Structure 1
Amino acid sequence: MKIIIIEDEMLVADELVDNLKQIKPDVEIVCILSSVKEAIDYFTDNPQPDLIFSDIQLGDGLSFDIAKVITIDVPIIFCTAFDEYALDAFRVNGIEYILKPFSLESLEKALLKFQNMQKVMAGSIALKYEAAMATLTARNKNNSNTIMVKYRDRLLPFTLDKIALFYLENEITYMYAHSGKMYTMTDSLEELEHKAGFDFFRMNRQFLVNRNAIEDATDYFPRKLKINLLIAFDRNIIVSREKRSKLLTWLAY
């Protein structure tokens, strides 16, 4: 079985490769593609594999964008951390997925399901993607983009543009507003990452930062980046060399 992986986090991609080979030692990983552009360039000149595993949100767009340019006629299993509403869009339209962080069991089930599947017509796949994206787009338009914050005995609504960043410290999640005020959150940083959407970037395990709070990014030895904010904030936000490329692509998007 020939497989192509589309994933911009190399550590995640490497883990996926290791797990797939553990489940099915004779699997052939043809290549790992890390962006929408790279995938389009590759599939323009190379044959498609038997199966594709793909992240959904890549540094330069959504992997659905690949199918807008290239006719994909093999099954794709999406590796996603999308929320329940988004998953409903996939279920309704028959799009296969596994949840991040994935397990050996979930991968094994995905491969077993693939073995029982037949190739679908390319037009049918394209229609599935289009329908799923229409559902997600409609959801985003109807979404108030508001995060509810508990403060004493009150619930305060904050629109995402008023939030500079979320961060984790001593196992407690905080929200830091552009006004300079800080609030504790009941949501985990992972949950907030899903709610916040594309305008927020997970810099590292500790920080989730709004694009509109960033002044610039400067080199930080070795091959890391330091994020400088437009607001007063007394903690260093460092991006690893593994995430460097993805961050720069996101900032330029």
Structure 2
Amino acid sequence: MKIVIIEDEILVAEELVSNLKQIDPNIEIVSILSSVKEAVNYFSANPQPDLIFSDIQLGDGLSFDIAKDITIDVPVIFCTAFDEYALEAFRVNGIEYILKPFSLESLGKALLKFQNMQKIMAGSIAQKYEAAMEALKAKNKNSSTTIMVKYRDRLLPFSHDKIALFYLENEITYMQCHNGKVYSMSESLEELEHKTAEKFFRMNRQFLVNRNAIIDVTDYFPRKLKVNLLFSFDKDIIVSREKRSRLLAWLTV
């Protein structure tokens, strides 16, 4: 089985390759592509594989954009952090997905489904991309722009614009507002990442930062970025080189 991986975080891509090889040593990873542009160029000049594993959010856009320029005639299994509700369109249209962080079990089940449904899933997926994109747009449109925080015996509403960042410290999640106030949270950063949609960026395992809290970013050796906030903050927010291009693209949207 020939597979192409579309993933802009090299460590995630390498982990995916390793896991797939553990499941089936005969799998051939034909190419690892890191952007929409690279994928379009690749599929314009090379035969399509048997199967594609693809992240949704890439540094230069969404992987759905690939289908705007290239007709993809093979099934795609998405590796994504989006929740099940947003991905219901994938199920309806016969596209499988696995949620990050993925496991050997979830990968194995996805491959098995592909093998069982190979003929059914074959054919252009441009319309399936479009349906999935509409589902994601609808989810973002309908998502609440308010985070509820339990403080003593009260529940306090905070609009996204009032929140500067969420961060993890000693395995506890905290929310810091622009006014400097800090609150502990019951949700994980993963859950908050889903709730805050495109206004916040997951810088690393520890920080989820609002775009309106950032004054600029600076180079940080080697090939990393340091995120500088509009206010004094006693922790360094460092973005890995694998996420560098995605962050820069997000900041320019």
TM-score bucket of the superposed structures, by smaller chain: over 0.9
Kindly indicate whether the alpha-carbon contact (under 8 Å) linking 2:218 and 2:227 is maintained by their aligned counterparts in 1: yes
Kindly indicate whether the alpha-carbon contact (under 8 Å) linking 1:89 and 1:136 is maintained by their aligned counterparts in 2: no
Post-superposition offset of 1:68:
1.8
Post-superposition offset of 1:231:
2.0
Please list the CA deviations of residues 129-163 of structure 1 after superposition, one character each: whole Å capped at 9, or x if unmatched: 21222222122222232211111211122221221
Kindly indicate whether the alpha-carbon contact (under 8 Å) linking 1:52 and 1:76 is maintained by their aligned counterparts in 2: yes
Post-superposition offset of 1:89:
3.1
Distance in 2 of aligned mates of 1:10 and 1:59: 12
Please list the CA deviations of residues 139-194 of structure 1 after superposition, one character each: whole Å capped at 9, or x if unmatched: 22222322111112111222212211100001110111112211111100111112
Q: Tell me, which stretches of 5 or more residues in structure 2 are unaligned?
A: none
Number of residue equivalences: 251
Counterpart AA for 1:250: W
Which residue matches 2:182?
Answer: 182
Aligned runs of 1:24-173 on 2, under 5 Å?
24-116=24-116, 117-118=118-119, 119-122=121-124, 125-173=125-173
Distance in 2 of aligned mates of 1:152 and 1:197: 27
Q: RMSD between aligned alpha carbons?
A: 1.5
Distance 1:241 1:121, change over 3 A: closer
Q: Tell me, which stretches of 5 or more residues in structure 1 are unaligned?
A: none
Distance in 2 of aligned mates of 1:32 and 1:157: 43
Distance in 2 of aligned mates of 1:41 and 1:248: 22
Distance in 2 of aligned mates of 1:120 and 1:222: 43
Q: Give 3-state SS (helix, strand or coil) of 2:249's partner.
A: helix
Post-superposition offset of 1:90:
2.4
Distance 1:212 1:57, change over 3 A: same
Counterpart AA for 2:123: M
Which residue matches 1:242?
Answer: 242
Distance in 1 of aligned mates of 2:241 and 2:80: 23
Counterpart AA for 1:223: R
Post-superposition offset of 1:93:
3.2
Post-superposition offset of 1:109:
1.7
Post-superposition offset of 1:248:
2.1
Q: Give 3-state SS (helix, strand or coil) of 2:5's partner.
A: strand
Post-superposition offset of 1:252:
2.6
Q: Give 3-state SS (helix, strand or coil) of 1:225's partner.
A: strand
Q: Give 3-state SS (helix, strand or coil) of 2:86's partner.
A: helix
Distance in 2 of aligned mates of 1:41 and 1:178: 43
Post-superposition offset of 1:224:
2.2
Post-superposition offset of 1:236:
1.3
Kindly indicate whether the alpha-carbon contact (under 8 Å) linking 1:215 and 1:230 is maintained by their aligned counterparts in 2: yes
Post-superposition offset of 1:251:
2.0
Aligned runs of 1:1-20 on 2, under 5 Å?
1-20=1-20
Which residue matches 1:197?
Answer: 197
